[in-house]
């Protein structure tokens, strides 16, 4: 989910939805408030976290932005710079995919192949991806009546 000009709330909500341990659902607002206080000493209520995440409050304090960045392990610029946010989001997507055991198993199996065979697998994946893209575009076209 890499998009241009996302608001602070959208970026925070994206971190909440994606940055969490693999064996559980996203952190609750209460857990985030507690974790932020524990890690950084910056206090805020669960309600305040929720209001910032849904855009009901559009005035995050600098200390809160820094605390969220530390809690989620992202640079502070994630919240302001589209390029930084895009790169971080791609890295998070990679981690989420790696948490998927099927993807991890495929990657581990591929690493045992010779370099030449890995190139073949990569080419096959590229072809499959291209085929899926073509199919999905064709499916979106309206059929003539």
**pTM for the model:** 0.66
The set of residues, in sequence order, having a beta carbon less than 8 Å from that of 105 and lying 6+ positions away, is none
The structure tokens 């991806």 sit at 129
pLDDT of residue 105: 82
pLDDT of 11 above 60: yes
Contacts of 28 (CB under 8 A, 6+ apart): 46
> CB count, 10 Å around CB of 30?
13
- CATH code for 8-139? 1.10.260.40
Count Cβ neighbours within 10 Å for each residue of 4-27 and write b for 16 or more, e otherwise. Answer: eebebbbbbbbbbeebbeeeeeeb
Q: What percent of the chain has pLDDT over 70?
A: 88
Mean pLDDT computed over every residue of the chain: 87
Dump pLDDT digits (tens) for 67-107: 999 999 999 999 999 999 999 999 988 877 777 677 778 88
Residue 133, pLDDT above cutoff 80:
no
Higher pLDDT, 104 or 53: 53
């Amino acid at each position: 989910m890499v998009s241009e000009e996302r608001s602070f709330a959208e970026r925070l909500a994206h971190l909440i939805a994606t940055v969490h341990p693999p064996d559980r659902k996203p952190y609750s607002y209460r857990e985030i408030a507690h974790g932020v206080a524990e890690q950084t000493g910056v206090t805020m209520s669960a309600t305040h976290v929720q209001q910032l995440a849904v855009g009901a409050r559009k005035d995050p304090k600098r200390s809160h932005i820094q605390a969220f960045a530390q809690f989620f392990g992202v640079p502070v610029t994630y919240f302001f710079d589209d390029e930084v946010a895009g790169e971080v989001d791609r890295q998070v997507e990679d981690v989420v995919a790696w948490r998927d055991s099927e993807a991890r198993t495929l990657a581990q199996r591929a690493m045992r192949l010779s370099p030449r065979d890995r190139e073949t697998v990569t080419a096959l994946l590229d072809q499959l991806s291209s085929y899926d893209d073509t199919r999905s575009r064709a499916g979106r076209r309206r059929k003539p009546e």
